[in-house]
Amino acid sequence: MLRKEVARGRHLRIVLVDSISRLTPEDAGAVVVSGSHGGTSAAEFALAVPLAAVFFNDAGVGKDEAGVVGLRLLQERGVAAGTVSHTSARIGDAQDAWDHGVVSRLNEAGAALGIAPGDPLREALSRLLERGL
């Protein structure tokens, strides 16, 4: 199961994890790209470690928006979050999200970072590194 740092700036680093359940205390302050869906359980794992931002797979959004509902929970706690489209990256594959993911949804905190639906995730997060978040 993938877990690796792919980029580092002066104040920010980007970590890929195939499963959000693999977060560790060392991930505090990072932007995490996860292959996990963006549902409630995934958001709860993300809230266990104070992250700068977190991105998931929208998993096709699903019934009652189950694949993205976690973005609301993260917003309530002030955590920037978003999803990539399941048609742009494989679910469960953070490397594919990093290499090919296209942003599909964002919470308000995520949009405030200057990221928009349709942005290639890697490019959007690289801009954050350049700006120093």
Read off the pTM: 0.95
Predicted local distance difference test score (pLDDT) of residue 85: 98
In this predicted structure, the answer to whether residue 2 has a pLDDT above a threshold of 90 is: no
Give the Cβ contact number of residue 58 at 10 Å: 26
Span 83-128, pLDDT tens digits = 999 999 999 999 999 999 999 999 999 999 999 999 999 999 999 9
High-pLDDT (> 90) share of the chain, %:
92
In this predicted structure, the answer to whether residue 132 has a pLDDT above a threshold of 80 is: no
111 membership: H or E segment, kind and range: helix 108-111
Q: Using 50, 70 and 90 to split pLDDT, how confident is the model at 4?
A: very high
CB 73 within 8 A of CB 47: yes
Q: Using 50, 70 and 90 to split pLDDT, how confident is the model at 1?
A: confident
Average pLDDT over residues 22-47: 96
90 phi and psi angles, rounded to 5 deg: -70, 135
Residues paired with residue 37 on neighbouring β-strands, in sequence order: 57
Least confident of 5-14, 50-59, 105-114: 5-14
In this predicted structure, the answer to whether residue 133 has a pLDDT above a threshold of 80 is: no
Report the number of secondary-structure helices (H) and strands (E) in the chain.
5, 6
Predicted local distance difference test score (pLDDT) of residue 37: 96
User: Which SS3 state, helix, strand or coil, does residue 116 take?
Assistant: coil
